[in-house]
Structure 1
Amino acid sequence: MRKESKIKNLHDLRAEITRLKALAREQERYLDDQYLLLQAKIEAPYRFLKSALSWVPGANTAKGLFAKRREGEDWLSRALRIGLPVVLNRLFLRKAGFFKRALVTLLSQQAAGALNKDRLSAFINKVTDLIRPSGKKRRPRHVDYGIPPDSETY
């Protein structure tokens, strides 16, 4: 089954090109409108949840843990900010009350925020310098390649 082309000459070709460009612009406008409608439908529940969470105390702290990036914070401080309170509460504060756990969580997050990989590596280097035995300092031998003292050059 062969489709007959209605293009017979150069003028018909140019007319078909302009018609197809106009059709493409119309379809792009339609898709843009549909995209904006879909985006508005998706954003409505998000805005509702965001406004509802703004009334919950402590929600900003939880959001701050999973936020993009803070200045001066690297992967180690982010991991410690999440993992340190969990480890402390599981291992050391098993039978502690809610207030103690909340206080330890807050303090450990603050401490983890101050700790980053540069500070940790500097601390480890200082400890290893203290532990590692210092080699005996050898005095360099005096090497004199000048005129030997018993030479007959005087």
Structure 2
Amino acid sequence: MKKKIRKYNINNLDDLHVMVSTLKAEHELKGDLLLKDTKGYLNQFTLGGLIKRYATPSAFLKIDDKLNISSSIMSMVLPFLMNTTLFRGSGFLTKTLVGLASNKVGKTLDAEHLSAIFNSVKSWFTGTKKKDEKTPQYVDYGIPPDSETY
């Protein structure tokens, strides 16, 4: 690596003091900038930075199109939940059919579908906001404002 050599035009002691103070200020500025950049770089790898980067609904547990961890988990968990809650007292044949059907449905669910389902169910339970009452509008009866009857 070739080192950059600076040439300064210093003719007297005052020029030297000015140059030293300039170089000290430049040194502190570059040090602060380097510290700021280092903190920003390291914040990418903290728990909060990783959550902000990877825990979005579009990237949640989805490594690529072939491997979708959220749909794999749902294809295993959904049959278990269906058989232990809704079809608890059912027979073997019913539980098998429900398990196969919910396994197929679980494979099609990914993070986007799950977040959309969650948002729609959440909207059912969050109360609808009261509609703003309309303020009465000015009604024009056809009487000009400059007439004597106004």
Q: Do both share a fold (TM > 0.5)?
A: no
Q: TM-score range by the shorter chain?
A: 0.3 to 0.5
When normalised by structure 2's length, the TM-score is: 0.35
* TM norm structure 1: 0.34
The structure carrying a bigger helix percent of its residues is 1
Q: Which has the larger radius of gyration?
A: 1
